[in-house]
Amino acid sequence: MKLATYQNHTRDGQLMVVSRDLTRAVAVPHIAASLQAALDDWGRCEPALQEVYAALNQGPVNGAVDFDQAACHSPLPRAYQWADGSAYLNHVELVRKARGAEVPASFYHDPLMYQGGSDAFLPPHAAIPLADVSWGLDFEGEVAVITDDVPLGTVAAECASHIRLLMLVNDITLRNLIPAELAKGFGFFQSKPATAFSPVAVTPDELGAAWRDGKVHLPLRVEYNGALYGEPQCGVEMQFSFAQLVAHVAKTRQLAAGSIVGSGTISNHDRSTGSCCLAEQRMIEIIESGEARTPFMQPGDHVRIEMLDASGQSIFGRIDQRVMGND
């Protein structure tokens, strides 16, 4: 099943059921006004939403309209929790190697994770605001899951059953603000502005055989200023599955329905697959030549993030954003 949220001048938007080929959509206020409302009552809402989805894929449905990705907000315009991991250790290894640091052994069995702002996400086709280019704006292509209620202490073996939906992510980062924040010993805050998610969230079964072992086994495609920038495999070298990442959160807190947990930047050791962020390319340049040559994003720069199935069909729609300067 595929779900989206249209912007409608309310905080949580209008829940839409979207056809598998992303061509048609229909509002379902009789089932749930918003995605959060559906997640809060998933046992009742999910079967009814699935019925609408099946009908939409089979033929005309009363009230259906052409699906407009530009009309979408993030599937959850705001969420109770947004926790982002760093499951691709190649990314971590490159960053640390570039500054001459080793990766602590604990990183291989204890996930890195930060808590991002979840009160206001950016729509997937909205401009990325940038008040100061010296802050070092970067994009980060990721995958994320949305959970139902996860009880405190739920172990990884049980967490997979709590994953309800998947989305793509642009985890926007202000790289040049990170060092001073980390030096304070309290982690990211100003260096992590509003995040954007894909127009569509999908249930795991939509991925078929590409969803297994709590991982997505498909490439994530990132285009930057009109050219392919990276297409690494999401299922390769993911140190921690989504079930393990959710369990990491649940160790000391329960997750409310509508909690979002991210994978971290997709990254492969095979450099021919490219990168999903500018920082990684900069780290490779430092390692190879001692100097970063790739600049961070400037006003007018354009990033697109998308995932295609085996037939070339877009699964989640496209994150499509330009940088907007403060002038």
Alpha carbon distance 278, 291 (integer Å): 14
Phi, psi of 319 (to 5 degrees): -75, 125
Between 267 and 91, where is the model more confident? 267
Between 303 and 96, where is the model more confident? 303
Residue 95 has pLDDT above 80, yes or no: no
Average pLDDT over residues 257-281: 95
What is the pLDDT confidence band of residue 91, given thresholds at 50, 70 and 90?
Answer: confident
Indicate the range of 31-45, 84-98, 183-197, 262-276 predicted with least confidence. Answer: 84-98
Alpha carbon distance 185, 205 (integer Å): 41
Residue 92 has pLDDT above 90, yes or no: no
Q: Provide the greatest CA pair distance for the chain.
A: 61
What is the pLDDT confidence band of residue 105, given thresholds at 50, 70 and 90?
Answer: confident
Residue whose pair of structure tokens reads 């930047």 in the numeric block: 265
Average pLDDT over residues 289-306: 95
Per-residue model confidence as pLDDT tens digits over 149-200: 999 999 999 999 999 999 999 999 999 999 899 889 898 999 999 999 999 9
Cβ-count burial 59-72 (b if 16+ within 10 Å, e if not): eebeebeebebebb
Contact 15/32 with Cβ under 8 angstroms? yes
Alpha carbon distance 64, 128 (integer Å): 31
- Can you give the pLDDT at residue 201? 98
String of DSSP letters for 142-160? EEEEEE--B-TT--HHHHG
Residue 264 has pLDDT above 90, yes or no: yes
Per-residue model confidence as pLDDT tens digits over 233-246: 999 999 999 999 99
For the chain, the average pLDDT equals 95
- The type of residue at 174 is L
Burial class (CB in 10 A: 0-12, 13-18, 19+), 111: buried
Residues 6+ positions from 301 with CB-CB distance below 8 Å? 224, 225, 322, 323
With CA atoms as reference, report the closest residue to 38 among 146, 124, 194.
146
- Can you give the pLDDT at residue 88? 93
What angle (nearest 5°) sits at the alpha carbon of residue 168, between those of residues 31 and 34? 20
Pairing of the two strands 260-262 and 128-130: unpaired
Residue 17 has pLDDT above 70, yes or no: yes
Global model pTM greater than 0.75: yes
Residue whose pair of structure tokens reads 């099943």 in the numeric block: 1
What is the pLDDT confidence band of residue 109, given thresholds at 50, 70 and 90?
Answer: confident
Average pLDDT over residues 134-157: 97
Residue whose pair of structure tokens reads 């939409």 in the numeric block: 56
String of DSSP letters for 191-243? TS---EE-SEEE-GGGGGGGEETTEE-SB-EEEETTEEEE--BTTSSBSS-HH
- Can you give the pLDDT at residue 102? 77
Residues of the chain above pLDDT 90, percent = 86
Q: Cβ atoms within 10 A of the Cβ of 119, count?
A: 11
What is the pLDDT confidence band of residue 94, given thresholds at 50, 70 and 90?
Answer: confident
Average pLDDT over residues 78-87: 96
Question: Six-digit token pair at 251?
Answer: 């160790």
What is the pLDDT confidence band of residue 99, given thresholds at 50, 70 and 90?
Answer: low
Q: Where are the domains of the chain?
A: 2-71, 77-325
Q: What is the 3-state secondary structure (H, E, C) of 161-184?
A: HHEEEEEEEECCEEHHHHHHHHHC
Average pLDDT over residues 102-115: 85
Contact 297/138 with Cβ under 8 angstroms? yes
Give one word for 185, left, alpha or beta, with left for phi > 0 and alpha for psi -120 to 50: left
Average pLDDT over residues 129-142: 97
The domain defined by 77-325 folds into Fumarylacetoacetate hydrolase; domain 2 (3.90.850)
What is the pLDDT confidence band of residue 98, given thresholds at 50, 70 and 90?
Answer: low
Per-residue model confidence as pLDDT tens digits over 301-327: 999 999 999 999 999 999 999 999 876
Contact 134/191 with Cβ under 8 angstroms? no
